[in-house]
Amino acid sequence: MNQSSLTTRLGEYISLILPDAHGHQQKAICDFVLALLSVQTCCQAALARFFDNFEAASKRLFRLLHNARLDTEELARAHASALVRRLPADGCVRLALDWTIEDSQHLLVASLSVGRRAVPLYWRAYTDAELKKRMSLYERQFVHALFAEVLCAVSRRRFVLTADRWFADVDLLDLLNELGVSYVIRTKAS
pLDDT at 77: 85
pLDDT at 34: 85
pLDDT (tens digit, 9 = 90+) per residue, 100-159?
Answer: 887 778 889 999 988 888 888 999 888 888 888 889 999 999 999 999 999 999 999 999
Per-residue DSSP letter, 71: -
pLDDT (tens digit, 9 = 90+) per residue, 150-188?
Answer: 999 999 999 999 999 889 889 999 999 999 999 999 887
Residues near 189 by beta carbon (within 8 Å), at least 6 away in sequence: none
Q: Does 89 lie in the same domain as 25?
A: no
φ/ψ of 159, rounded to 5, equals: -90, 145
> Which CATH number is 100's domain given?
3.30.420.10
104 falls within a domain: yes
The mean-pLDDT minimum among 40-44, 85-89, 108-112, 141-145 falls in 40-44
Q: Does 86 lie in the same domain as 54?
A: no
Q: Is the pLDDT of residue 33 over 90?
A: no
Q: Does 125 lie in the same domain as 57?
A: no
109 falls within a domain: yes
| 135-145 helix and 170-179 helix, angle to the nearest 10 degrees | 10
Distance CA 27, CA 15 (A): 9
φ/ψ of 53, rounded to 5, equals: -105, 100
Bridge partners (DSSP) listed for residue 118:
113
Q: Does 92 lie in the same domain as 175?
A: yes
**H-type alpha helices, the chain:** 3-17, 23-39, 44-49, 54-65, 72-85, 128-131, 135-145, 170-179
Give me the number of domains the chain comprises: 2
Domain assignment of residue 39, given as a range:
3-65
Q: Is the pLDDT of residue 2 over 70?
A: no
CB 156 within 8 A of CB 147: yes
Q: Does 127 lie in the same domain as 90?
A: yes
With cut-offs at 50, 70 and 90, classify the pLDDT of residue 60.
confident
Distance CA 57, CA 139 (A): 36
Question: Of the candidates 65, 84, 115, which is a domain's last residue?
Answer: 65
Strand order in the sheet with 117-127: 117-127, 105-114, 93-102, 159-163, 182-185
190 falls within a domain: no
- Cβ atoms within 10 Å, residue 113: 16
Q: Does 37 lie in the same domain as 90?
A: no
Helix (H, G, I), strand (E, B) or coil at 113: strand
Question: Of the candidates 31, 49, 65, which is a domain's last residue?
Answer: 65
